[in-house]
Structure 1
Amino acid sequence: MNDKYLTISYECLSSIGNSFELESMMSEVVITFYQKTKALFVGFYERRDLSSPMIYAGKDIGYKAEFSQDKDECSLLQYNEFHIVVLPLKSSYMKFIYKKENNIEEIYSMVCNFQRKINFALSACAGVKELEKLNDELELRVEKSVEQIREHEKMLLIQSKSAIMGEMLEMVAHQWRQPLTAIGMISNNMLFSIILTESENEELDKKLFENELEDINKQVRYLSDTIDDFRNFFKESKSKQEFFIEEAIDKGVSLLRKQFEQSSIVIEIKNKCKRTLLYTYKNELMQVLLNILHNSKDAFEANDMKNKKIIIDCTKDDENLIIKIEDNAGGIPEDVISKMFEPYFSTKKEKNGTGLGLYMSKIIINRHLEGSIFAKNIDKGASFTIRIPIKIKKRGV
C-alpha cells in the first residue's frame, strides 16, 4: 500500500468509534470514507433487510445487497460501470460504490480490514444504549419505590395516629370529668336555690344565678376547646405552618396532663427558647412529643416507680432547636434501646402495642421535620433528644 493509501487508511481508521451515540459515530465514519476514498456513495444500513440507509453520503445507484446466511465476509461486486463493496457488520452493513478504476483492490482491502474495528465501535454504542436504557428503567423503578415508600409512610402515620386514638379517648374522658362534675354541681346548686326560694316565697338571687351560669359557660368553653384540641391533633398536616415552639409543647402536654395527674406523673417544662418561631408541621411535632411522653408513662407503670417525673427541656443553638425529654422511669434495657426505632418493635405486646410510635417519631423528625432524634439512658431513666432546624417562613412566598 503506497503512502497515499496509508494516509487515507489512517484518516478513515481515526473516524471510527469517536462517539457512543450510533448515529453520530456512523455519520463521521460515512462522511470520512466518502470524502477520503472518493466514493460515489457510502451508506450505513441499520439492519441487513433494509434497502434504505440510516446514514449516507452521495447518490445510490439502486443496487440492493444480498447476504449469505453463514458468511460475514466483505465482498467486491461489479454492477454496470461501478464497483460495489459490501461490508457486513453484526446486524447491519455498509455499502460503498466507486467508479471502475484500477485501485479498487486497495480500497476494498482497506474497507475489509476495518470490519472488526467498526463492529467493536457498534458494540460499544449498543452497550451504552443498553446501559442508558437500564439506567432509565432503574430511575423509574427508584422513583416508583420512593413513591411507594412515601405512601407506606403515610399509611403508617395514619396507623400510628389510629393506634393512640383509644388512649386519646381516655384522655378526653379525663379532661372532661372535672368540668362535667363542676357543671353538675353548679346545676344542682341552682336547682336547690330555686326550690328553697319557692318554699320560702323569696325572690331568686339574680346576681347569684348570673355568676353560676357564667361558671357553667366557662366549663362548656373548656369542653369545646378540648374537643378542638383533639380534633386538630388528628387533622392531617398537609402544609407547614408558623408557630412558636411553646405552642406545640404546651398544647401537647395539655392533652396529657389530666391523665398524667391521675397516674401521679409530674411534667416539668424548662423552656429557654420561648418565642422561637418555627415553620414546619406542628401536629406532627406534637405527635412525636406525645409518643415519647406515652413511652415514659408506660415505663413508669411497668416499673411501678414512685416520685414520677418528666422534664421537657428546650434550648437552641445557632441553627437548631433542641428538645430533651428526660424521665426517672428506670431507663431502657440495652437489648431494646438499639431496636426501639425499628418498625413494629414493641415491648408491650400484651397491651396490644403496635410498635409504630417511636418508629413513626423517627420518620417524622428525620424526613418531615428534617431533624434528628436519638435516645440514651441517663442516671435514673431515659433521655430523648430531638433536634429541629430553625426555619422561618419566607415572606412573600
Structure 2
Amino acid sequence: MQPPTPSFSALPAVPSRPAERQAWLKTTLVFAGTILGLYPLDVLILGEVRLPSLMMRGVWAAQLVLVAWLRSRANERWDGVLSVLNSVLVSLCFLGVVTLTGAAESPYANLVPSMPLLMALIQPKDTRPAIASGVTSALGVLVMMLVTHGHVLHALAWAGMVGASTFFGVYGSGQFAKAQTAENEARLERARREALEKLAVAERHRMQSEKLATVGRLAASVMHEINNPLAFVRSNLDFLRSEVLAQQLPEEARAELQEVFDETRSGVERIRQIVQDLKGFSRMDVEEPSECALADVVSDAARLAAMRLKHVARLKVEVPAGLPEVFATRRRLAQVLLNLMVNAGDALEEAKVQGGEVRVTGGVEGERVVLRVEDNGPGIPPEVLPRLFEPFFTTKGPDKGTGLGLTISRELVERFGGTLRAENRAEGGARILIALPMHTPPTPTPTSPLPLGEGQGEGT
C-alpha cells in the first residue's frame, strides 16, 4: 500500500502466494529507495549537506529491507512479532530524521502524529503495529519537546496529539475491518442464496426435462402399439367397404355409405400420418444432413402444428415449392419450425387474441433462403427480446416450457450454417426469421479423354 506521505514507509501483511510475495518484496525495495531519494528535502531544510541525516535514512531503508526479508521467511506466528518490531523501528527512524533536521523546528515534526494513522491504514485488521507506533512516537516526541523547549505542558500536548491520533487510527481501522468483514459475509450470503436459487431452478428444469423425456419414451411405445391395430382397422375397413358396396342397395344409401367410408378412411389415414410424423421425430438422431426442399419440411411441421393450433389460430403456409434446396437434416429443421409455430400459438392463446393467425412464408434473399414465422399477437416485450435465446429463460409457466426450445432451435439452425433471429413486426406481432444458405451441389471436374494409345495394357 502506498504511504500517505513521502517520508513514511511501512510494510503491509506478507502475501501467501509466491508471485504476490515477489511483488511485495519489490514494493519494499521501492519504499527503501524512496526514503533515500527524499534526502534532497533534508538538504533544503538544513541548507547544507549533512551526513548524519543521510546515514539515518540509510539505516531506515536497510531496516525495511531486512525486516521484509525476515518476514518473507518467517512462519505465521513470528510474522506478527516482526510486524510490531517493524512499526517500532520505522517510528524510531523517522523520529531520528526529525531530530537531525531541526528537532521541534523541523517541518517533519508536524507529521509525527500521522505515524500511528499510517500503521492503522496499512494493517487495519491488526491493531498492534498502530499501537506500538503510537507509543513509540508519543514517547519520542515527548522527549524531543522537553529537550528542545523544556516546557512540560507543551511536550505533553504533543504526546497527547500522538495519543489521540493513535486512538482514532485504531478505532477507525477497527470499524473499517468490521464493516469489511460484514460486507464480505453479506456478499457470501448473497452468493450462497443465488447459488441455491440457481440450483433449485436447474433442478426444476431437470425434472421437467426428465418428465418430457419419459413422455417421449412412452409416446414412442404408444406409437408402436397403435401401428398394429391401425393396420387391422385399415384392412378391415377396406374389406367392409368392398363387401357393403357390393350389395344391391338403393342409390341414395350407396352414396351415403360411400361418403361414410371415405370419411372414415380419411380419419384413419390422418392417424397413420400423425403416428409416422411422431415416429420420424423420435428417430431423427440417426439421420444425416442431406438436400431437402423447404416446402416439404414446412409441410411436415405444419401437419403436427395444426393439432396445437386448431382451436387457437389459423395456420397459413405460403412457401413456394420452387425454393432452392438447403443442406440440412429434414426432421431437425421440421422440429425447429414446429417449435416456432407452437410458440406463436402459445403467445396468441395467452394474450387471448381473437382471430389469431400464424403465417409461415418463404423467399430468397441474396444467397440465402429465408423462412418467416409470424403471428398477429402482442409481440415480444422489449425487455424480453435480448434474452429470448438464453438457456432456461422463459416467460411461460413451468408446465408449458423449460426455456430450452429456442436455444436448441438456434443451435440446430447454426449447425446447418444458418441464422435464427427474432423481431417485432411494425404492424404488430412477432416475427422469427430462419436464414439458410442455398445448397449448391459440387460441380464434377471434367476428365480429359486420354490420347489414343495411352492407358492400354501391353497385352492388348
- Identify, as 1 or 2, the structure richer in helix: 2
Q: TM-score, normalised by structure 1?
A: 0.47
Larger radius of gyration: 2
- Identify, as 1 or 2, the structure richer in strand: 1
Q: TM-score, normalised by structure 2?
A: 0.41
